[in-house]
Structure 1
Amino acid sequence: MSLPAAPLDVVGADGLPLFGRYRGLAGAPGWSRLAPPFARGALRRRLHHKRWHFVSLVTDELFVGLVVIDIGWSNSAFAYAFDRTLGKVVEAFSPVGLPGLTAEVGANVAEGARFVMPGRRIVIEADGADGHRLRLRAGNFRIDAEYGGAGPRLLAVGPVVDGGAVHSTQKSPGLALRGTADAGGKRFRLDGGVASYDFSNGLLGRRTAWRWISAHTRELGINLQAGYFGDAENALWLDGELIALGSLGSRVETDGGWTIATADGLLDLRFTPEGTRRDDKQLLVASSSLTQHVGRFDGWVKAGPDGPKRTVSGLTGLAEDYRARW
Structure 2
Amino acid sequence: QMSHSPTAGTASIKGKQQICITPAGYDWQLKLKGERLNGKLTLQAGPAPQPLALCTATGYNGWTYTQKHNALKVTGSLQYRDKPLDLSEALAGYDFSAGYMRRETSWRWGSISAQLPEGAFGLNLACGVNETGTTENCLWLNGEKQLLGPVSISLNRQHSTQPWQFSSADNRINLQFLPQQCRQERLNLGLLASNFRQYCGEFSGEIQLNSGKKLKLDQIPGLAEDHFARW
TM more than 0.5: yes
Amino acid at match of 2:184: R
Larger Rg: 1 or 2? 1
Give 1:142 shift: 3.3
Question: Paired residue for 1:157?
Answer: 55
| Deviation per residue, 1:239-268 (Å, 9 max, x gap) | 433222111124266984232112222111
Q: Secondary structure at the match of 1:109?
A: coil
Residues 1:238 and 2:112 aligned together: no
Give 1:285 shift: 4.2
Give the Cα separation in 1 of the matches to 2:3 and 2:53: 17
Question: Paired residue for 2:181?
Answer: 275
Give the conservation status (yes or no) of the 8 Å contact 1:181–1:190.
no
CA 1:297 to 1:159, structure 2 compared with 1: closer, same or farther past 3 Å? same
Select which of 123, 129, 144 maps to 1:228.
129
Give the conservation status (yes or no) of the 8 Å contact 1:164–1:205.
no
Residues 1:121 and 2:18 aligned together: yes
Give the conservation status (yes or no) of the 8 Å contact 2:6–2:96.
yes
Unaligned runs of 5+ in 1: 1-102
Question: Paired residue for 1:296?
Answer: 202
| Deviation per residue, 1:28-69 (Å, 9 max, x gap) | xxxxxxxxxxxxxxxxxxxxxxxxxxxxxxxxxxxxxxxxxx
Give 1:191 shift: 1.1
Give 1:164 shift: 5.6
Could you say what the CA RMSD is over the residues aligned between the two structures, in angstroms? 2.6
| Deviation per residue, 1:218-255 (Å, 9 max, x gap) | 62221111113226201122343322211112426698
Give the Cα separation in 1 of the matches to 2:178 and 2:37: 27
Judging by fraction of residues, say which structure has more strand.
Answer: 2
Give the Cα separation in 2 of the matches to 1:312 and 1:213: 14
CA 1:269 to 1:118, structure 2 compared with 1: closer, same or farther past 3 Å? closer
TM value normalised by structure 1: 0.60
Question: Paired residue for 2:107?
Answer: 210
Give 1:195 shift: 1.0
Unaligned runs of 5+ in 2: none
Question: Paired residue for 2:228?
Answer: 323
Give the fraction of aligned pairs with identical amino acids, expressed as a percent.
27
Residues 1:142 and 2:38 aligned together: yes
Q: Secondary structure at the match of 2:50?
A: coil
Give the Cα separation in 1 of the matches to 2:163 and 2:123: 18
| Deviation per residue, 1:264-289 (Å, 9 max, x gap) | 22111111123111122344642212
Q: Secondary structure at the match of 2:70?
A: coil
Select which of 237, 243, 249 maps to 2:152.
249
TM value normalised by structure 2: 0.82
CA 1:156 to 1:311, structure 2 compared with 1: closer, same or farther past 3 Å? same
Give the Cα separation in 2 of the matches to 1:257 and 1:137: 35
Give the Cα separation in 1 of the matches to 2:140 and 2:87: 22
Amino acid at match of 1:124: I
Amino acid at match of 2:203: F
- How many equivalent residue pairs? 218
Question: Paired residue for 2:166?
Answer: 260
